[in-house]
Structure 1
């Protein structure tokens, strides 16, 4: 889709104005999705993570992000984020089952093969790099609509509410920082146990399957991200069920097929806004499926139930 500046977008909206009739919006079936052979991502092995949070600290340092003290530690100097927000691109959380078993889990952008956030963005501020498939954001194009937040099935993009000129914040695999300078995302660069590794998706997927095959009693059979929402470039293996780790049970089809159809009708013809709101409501309700105990957006409640690292 051609990029638009804020001014161009507002001008087009004003010119289209009244008199444009709402057009019927039909959801088109998504074609089978295949990752580009050059696509890169990360493999996170929850069984290797020791919860040191070096990845969180390094990410903040490399990307020059503010500290996020815990709510009760507002006057303290150290960084203690409890969840993803405009100051935190990746986070380590703790799952406990009440019987002594526990597992750490890392959350960040999943870098979907067919990202709904990119498809939903009306001006091209949210983009996907050709070839490597990295999903990133251009603040100079963004109009602040936050449709990317609604469209994301993992509830990842965050908005800088306290800032006078806010932007969307999410992991971009250190595309403009560590990946550019060192060839590896900061979190993967510093992990002492190699719980998170960087590479081409094909290699990471093969490595995940190899580990599961060699240690079937150690891992769940599922590789999270292999098929969810059409597949993601960030994938997970774990010894605990992904349901317990706070991951949604998602369909294998990407929501991007729906948003692209809306994109091609609304933003080219600017039909009545009610059609857009209807689509956003549909996606929002779809993303709230399995609200209790599923999804990155509900991790705080999930941790309170099973125990937290405080």
Structure 2
């Protein structure tokens, strides 16, 4: 059975820690290999992207493979071909799929019919590669995760869900500040707390930021929510991360954002362009964490992994 990475919990806790450590090693050594030599991955992007597309294309190339880029405009997906049919055809052509889509159910439906690995490059429910890269960025910055508080400020979206998943595997405290009606999926939140994550949900963004070592946010209206943008501007107006809010965070706290950012909305330019901002490190680390994830996917089993599964 091929491996999949649709959400962080598709790895074991030990594997997730090992992949983060491996990504840091890869970055430090400018790692290249022939792991994917002779293999081609299809990148299916129903949502436009800069960082995700380029970082995955380069990750595959650094591992010796090649890619085919597909959108709805140049495939039968744009003519409503069932994803089950698409994956059954692609399974006979390519060696894996990296998909950036809307409904997470498309990924799970494809997985039920696939004979090749599938990696979630973003769905409406989860953004696991981004958050794994963000955990890498915190560790790279020397954070002792057992003594680290992470604040999530804004929409309880796919990023919030993946942060909740990460909090069940990594020992940081996660406090999410979301307005009523825009909180994370209750089942995902409850499961995260039940699994032992140090997770709290509040409505006051300043409560979440107070004493936080990393302050994290995202756009107020994601791709596909353009029609809600005006309404969301009103709902989230008190959730902007500005200098006054950052002053409540722990000394030396860092600002994080998955990008692209709307400066002047969820974050002020003063904070975004400040020394506290580590958004460019986050963006760079997408390349390295995705190389480590692909290595995990294609290594075939725990016994063949080229690194120790040591916890962070």
Higher share of residues assigned helix = 2
Q: Which has the higher contact order (CA 8 A, sep 6+)?
A: 1
Please tell me whether Structure 1 or Structure 2 has the larger radius of gyration of its CA atoms: 1
Normalising by structure 2, report the TM-score.
Answer: 0.27
